[in-house]
Amino acid sequence: MPKEPLSNTSPQDLEIKDAQLIFNAVWADLEEEYQHQQMLFPHETIWLGGAPGAGKGTNTPFIMKTRSITAEPIVISGLLDTPEAKRLIDAGLMVGDREVVGILLRKLLEDKYRDGVVVDGFPRTKVQVECLKLFYHRLLELHSEFLNTSSTVNFRKPLFRIVLLFVSEQVSVERQLSRGDGIRAHNITVRDTGVGELVEERATDLDEGLCRKRYRTFKESTFDTLQSLRKVFHFYFVDAESPVDQVEENIEREFAYQSSIELSRETYELLRHIPLPQELSRHARQELVERIETYGTQDTQAFSHIIRLLETKFIPIVRAHAISGNARINTEDTIFDDRKNLRMAIDILTERGYHVTVDIHKSDIPDRFDVQTGKITCRTQRVFRFHIRFEAPEIRRGHH
């Protein structure tokens, strides 16, 4: 049966086929080189991309800190300085997608990356994107293969995060030129004083036209390439135009805990009905105000009684512990036998800025003794133990 004419094959189909050929060849080489049970890749991989001047180098340490990653990042441009890449270059060969994928996967097998790693600059091409998808599915296969075995801990569910630091063309150009000016000024000082080391001056950081071309190349190729992964992996789009502290806030917000991504579907289904703290606190203040307004209009007698109790009994003790910011108060007041009144007291103190917890200690106290039968009748004593915490003042201490 004749083959389908090549002209009927879309460019996307060709890229997918190329990626399959490249990845399968690389994977076969790895399986031949490593024992199957030694194919231990990072549990979490952050694939970091960004426009020129977006601050990847500046923000990588904070991203690592946020995700508790300690191993140094893998920078793809730096991998081209490895002996393997240099041998290819020295032989007059191009370092193409296959070579980059092969070098990268071997690097990821190093023990120090086992718990997590940031990869800066991959994927950049559509073929690399398809290779990334194939890599993820191979890791899922390994996870399934070793599930419920003694090696389960080594083959955890892979976690891929795509992080894109984005800036506009104007900001990118300004930052590239500023970097170029800084490097040039540094090199002039080194040459004049003989102190320090020269830093490579990139032509792309010194010419506005080249800066714009570099940005547009990113926008037309790498940006669209990374965007295509939105529906495949968890995707973080970070506005990187603001000052560093604001960008860090953006990163922190993007990396908020999401168990649906990190846990297996079966495990997540078991615990997903337990709410996250932010879900509980989202409307807590509004609900607190509504409850207190209700107390003041519908439970005025109990409300007034509890306020007087807090003012006369609780607050003097709290004042005595003002320096520590930590007070414990026990009371047997029977008004708190009604749980609604106990909640009212907690709400009043909470509204005033205190953090309050209460536990109820119950004990049986002998109340009557029948001399004829010897029967002892007890009553239940309830002690409501309030733990009130608040921000303590900073005390300046003198130095001798």
CB atoms within 10 A of CB 109: 16
Identify the DSSP state of 153. G
Report yes or no: 271 and 259 within 8 Å, Cβ to Cβ: yes
Q: Among 2.40.10, 3.30.110, 3.40.50, 1.20.120, name the CATH number for the domain at 284-389.
A: 3.30.110
SS3 call for 341: helix
In Å, how far are 51, 117, 341 from 72, measured between CA atoms?
Answer: 21, 7, 56
Hunting for tokens 């806030």 — which residue is that?
249
Structure tokens at 170: 């104007």
Tell me if domain 6-279 and domain 284-389 are identical in fold: no
Nearest to 383 by CA among 348, 358, 366: 358
SS3 361: strand
Backbone φ, ψ for residue 327 (5° rounding): -130, 140
Q: Taking the alpha carbons of 204, 210, 211, 217 in that order, is the dihedral positive or negative?
A: negative
Tell the burial category of 247 from Cβ atoms under 10 Å away from its Cβ (0-12, 13-18, 19+).
Answer: buried
Q: What is the pTM of this model?
A: 0.62
The C-alpha atoms of residue 213 and residue 369 are separated, in whole angstroms, by 96
Question: Which pLDDT value is given to residue 2?
Answer: 46
Domain range summary for the chain, segments of one domain joined by +: 6-279, 284-389
CATH of domain 6-279: 3.40.50.300
Q: What is the pLDDT along the chain (400 residues), one digit of tens a residue?
A: 444 444 455 666 777 888 999 999 999 999 999 888 889 999 999 999 998 899 998 999 999 988 889 999 999 988 877 666 666 656 655 568 888 999 999 999 999 999 899 999 899 888 999 999 999 999 999 999 998 888 888 898 888 999 999 999 999 999 999 999 999 999 999 999 999 898 888 887 888 999 999 899 888 888 888 888 888 888 888 889 988 888 998 888 777 655 555 555 566 667 767 776 766 765 687 788 889 999 988 889 999 999 999 999 999 999 999 999 999 999 999 999 999 999 999 999 999 999 999 999 988 878 788 788 888 888 888 999 999 999 887 665 454 4
End-to-end CA distance of the chain: 96
Give the up-direction half-sphere exposure of residue 151: CA atoms within 13 A in the CB hemisphere: 11
- Burial state string for 358-372 with b = 16 or more CB within 10 A and e = fewer than 16: beeeeeeeeeeeeee
For 275, how many CA atoms within 13 A lie in the half-sphere containing its CB? 6
List, in order, residues 6 or more apart from 357 with CB less than 8 Å away. Answer: 386, 387
Distance CA 46, CA 62 (A): 13
Contacts 24+ apart (CB under 8 A), 57-61: 58/244, 59/165, 59/238, 59/240, 59/244, 59/247, 59/248, 59/251, 60/118, 60/120
269: amino acid identity, one letter: E
pLDDT on residue 142 = 93
Written as one string, the DSSP assignment of 366-383 is EEEE-TTT--EEEEEEEE
Q: How far apart are CA 289 and CA 130, in angstroms?
A: 53
Buried b / exposed e across 323-357, counting CB within 10 Å, b at 16+? Answer: eeeebebebeeeebeeeebbebbbbbbbeeebebe
Q: Please report, for residues 66, 360, 375, 377, 380, the alpha-carbon distance to residue 366 in angstroms, rounded to integers and kept in the order given.
A: 57, 19, 10, 6, 9
